[in-house]
Chain A
Amino acid sequence: MLEGEEKLIKSIQGGETHLFGQLYDHYLPKIYRFVLLKVGQKEESEDIVHDVFINAWQNLGTYSSKGFPFSSWLYHIARNKVIDYYRLKKPTTHLEDLDDSFVKVASNAEKLFDINLDLEKVKSAIQKLTPEQQDVVIMKFVEDLTHQEIAAALNKSEGAVRLLQHRAINNLKNLLTAV
C-alpha cells in the first residue's frame, strides 16, 4: 500500500486528478508483473495493463475504500481483464513464446540471488497452475500482499485464500520436482 493512500485517493476523487500519477507509478510494476506472469506474453500483457489503468482512471469515482483496499480493487480489475483476454483470444502460452526482454529482466534477478531453482522453470510452473492459484502465488509471494488484501481482490474468504496458497505451493513443488 502507498503511504497516505486513502487520503490521496480521496483527493483524486475530489478533483485533484493529477495526483493519480502517484498511484500509477506505485502500482504499474505490480500490475504489470501480475499480468505478465499469468499471460506469459509481453505485448499482450502490455495491452491488458493498458486496459487496467484506463479502467481504473475512468472508474476511480466508483471506488470506495470501506474494507476494500485500493490494491485489491486494482488487482480485481486486472484479473477480470486477464479473464476477458483468455475468453476472447484463447492463446497457447508457452515459455518459448516469451521474448528476450522478459527473459533478460528475469535473469538479472537470478544473478542477484544464490538460488538453485531455475527461474525459467518456476515461471513455466506458475503458468501450469489454475488461474486462482496463480493469482494467490503472484499476489502473496511476488507482490507481498496480505491474505486480507488477496481475499478482497479475489472475492473469497481468507481461509479460501490460505487453502489456495497451500495447494499452489504443493503443486509448484510437484511440477518442479517432476521436471
Chain B
Amino acid sequence: MEEQLIKTLKSLNQIEPESNFSTLLKQQVFAAPQRNSRLPSFSRWALESLKFAGALTLASLLIFAIFNGLLSFGNGVRSSALTSLNKERMLAEAKNADFEINLREIRYYEHSAQEVAAVFDKVLENKNAL
C-alpha cells in the first residue's frame, strides 16, 4: 500500500497553474520594485568577515562563562526528563486506556441481565407446562 501511496503522491506532480495566471503573475513580479539591492562585492565580503569575527569572539566568551553553569543545569534536566518519561509509570497509565478493560463494567451488566433472564425463562417455563 505504501508503494501505491507514494506513486499517487508523485502523480500530484502533474498539477500545474493555469497559463493565464502564470503569465499575469510574471508581469506583476517584474513590474514590482526590488528592495535590498546587493552591496558591492568587497563591502559584502568585509561585512560578512566582521560579522563572523564578532560572532566568534562572543561565542568564546560565552562558552567559557556558562560552561560550569550548564553542566550542573544539564544534570538536573537529565534526571527530570528520565522521571517524566518513566516507562513503568507510563505503562500503568497506558493500561488504563485499554477499551476492553474499561468496557468490563458494561459487559458485566449485560451478562447479569442475560443470566437473570435465563432463570426467569426457566421459572416461567414451568407455568406453561402446568
Chain B residues 92 to 124 lying within 8 A of chain A, measured CB to CB, are none
Interface residues of B (CB under 8 A from A): 1-2, 4-18, 21-22, 25-26, 28-30, 32-38
Q: Is the CB of B8 within 8 A of A122?
A: yes
Tell me the bound Cα distance from A142 to B16 in angstroms.
12
The count of chain A contact residues (Cβ–Cβ below 8 Å) is 49
Task: With A46-B25, A177-B1 given, name 5 new contacts (CB 8 A).
Answer: A50-B25, A59-B35, A117-B4, A122-B5, A143-B13
Tell me the bound Cα distance from A49 to B22 in angstroms.
10
Nearest CB in chain A to that of B26: its residue: A24
Q: Chain A at the B interface: mostly helix, strand, loop or mixed?
A: helix
A88: Cβ under 8 A from any B Cβ: no
Min CB distance, A64 to chain B, in Å? 9
Which of A31-39, A71-79, A89-97, A155-163 sits within the interface?
A: A31-39
Interface residues of A (CB under 8 A from B): 13-14, 17, 20-21, 24, 28-29, 32-33, 36-37, 46, 49-50, 53-54, 57-62, 101-102, 105-106, 108-110, 112-113, 115-117, 119, 122-123, 137-138, 141-144, 169, 172-173, 176-177
